[in-house]
Amino acid sequence: MNLLRRLAVLLSALTALSIGTATMAADLTALVANLTVGGFGEREAAIGALAASGDARAAPILEALGAGRLYVRKADKVVVIAKSEGNQLVLTDAVTGKAAGSAIEAELDRVRVNNRLRGVIDAAVGSLTLMNPDPRVRRGAAESLLKRPDPAALAALDAALAAEKDVRVKAAFSQARAAVVLASDASKADKLAALQVLRDRSDRDALSALQAAANVATDPEIKVAAADASASVRQTLAVWEAAQNVWYGISLGSVLLLAAIGLAITFGTMGVINMAHGEMVMLGAYTTFVVQDVIRTSAPHLFDASLLIALPLAFLVAGAVGIAIERGVIRFLYGRPLETLLATWGLSLVLQQAVRSIFGPTNREVGAPSWMSGAFQVGQITVTYSRLWIVIFALVVFAALILVLRKTPLGLYMRAVTQNRPMASAMGIRTPRVDALTFGLGSGIAGLAGVALSQIDNVSPNLGQGYIIDSFMVVVFGGVGNLFGTLVGALSLGIVNKFLEPYAGAVLGKILVLVFIILFIQRRPRGLFALKGRAVE
Q: For binding to other proteins (CB under 8 A), which residues are involved? A: 273, 329, 332-333, 337-343, 345-354, 356-357, 469, 472-473, 476, 507-508, 510-511, 514-515, 517-519, 521-523, 525
Residue 112 to residue 120: CA distance in whole angstroms: 14
Beta bridge partners, 382, equal 377
Nearer to other proteins, 240 or 516 (CB): 516
Nearer to other proteins, 171 or 521 (CB): 521
278: burial class by Cβ within 10 Å (0-12, 13-18, 19+)? buried
Q: Output Rg (C-alpha) for the chain, integer angstroms.
A: 33
Nearer to other proteins, 38 or 346 (CB): 346
Shortest Cβ 345–other proteins spacing (Å): 5
Shortest Cβ 510–other proteins spacing (Å): 6
Nearer to other proteins, 213 or 330 (CB): 330
Shortest Cβ 273–other proteins spacing (Å): 5
Q: Which of 463, 515, 522 is nearest to 493 (CA)?
A: 515
Shortest Cβ 321–other proteins spacing (Å): 14
Nearer to other proteins, 99 or 518 (CB): 518
Nearer to other proteins, 375 or 511 (CB): 511
| Helical ranges in 73-131 per DSSP H | 115-130
Shortest Cβ 493–other proteins spacing (Å): 12
217 residue type, one letter: A
Residue 408 to residue 129: CA distance in whole angstroms: 61
SS3 525: coil
Nearer to other proteins, 353 or 408 (CB): 353
Nearer to other proteins, 333 or 381 (CB): 333
> What torsion, rounded to 10 degrees, do the Cα atoms 482, 412, 270, 441 define?
-90
Nearer to other proteins, 348 or 460 (CB): 348
Q: Which of 55, 53, 83 is nearest to 69 (CA)?
A: 83
Cβ neighbours of residue 467 closer than 8 Å, sequence gap 6 or more: 259, 278, 281, 453
Query: In 18-64, which ranges are E strands?
Result: none
Nearer to other proteins, 308 or 515 (CB): 515
Find out whether 100 and 78 touch, Cβ atoms under 8 Å: yes
Shortest Cβ 242–other proteins spacing (Å): 26
Find out whether 271 and 435 touch, Cβ atoms under 8 Å: no
Shortest Cβ 341–other proteins spacing (Å): 6
Shortest Cβ 465–other proteins spacing (Å): 8
DSSP character string of 125-192: HHHHHHT-SSHHHHHHHHHHHHHS--GGGHHHHHHHHHH---HHHHHHHHHHHHHHHHHTT--HHHHH
Shortest Cβ 278–other proteins spacing (Å): 12
Shortest Cβ 332–other proteins spacing (Å): 6
Q: Which of 235, 233, 232, 212 is nearest to 222 (CA)?
A: 212
Shortest Cβ 399–other proteins spacing (Å): 28
395: burial class by Cβ within 10 Å (0-12, 13-18, 19+)? middle
- Rounded alpha-carbon distances, angstroms, from residue 193 to 19, 155, 219, 302, 529: 30, 17, 15, 54, 55
SS3 396: helix
Nearer to other proteins, 332 or 376 (CB): 332
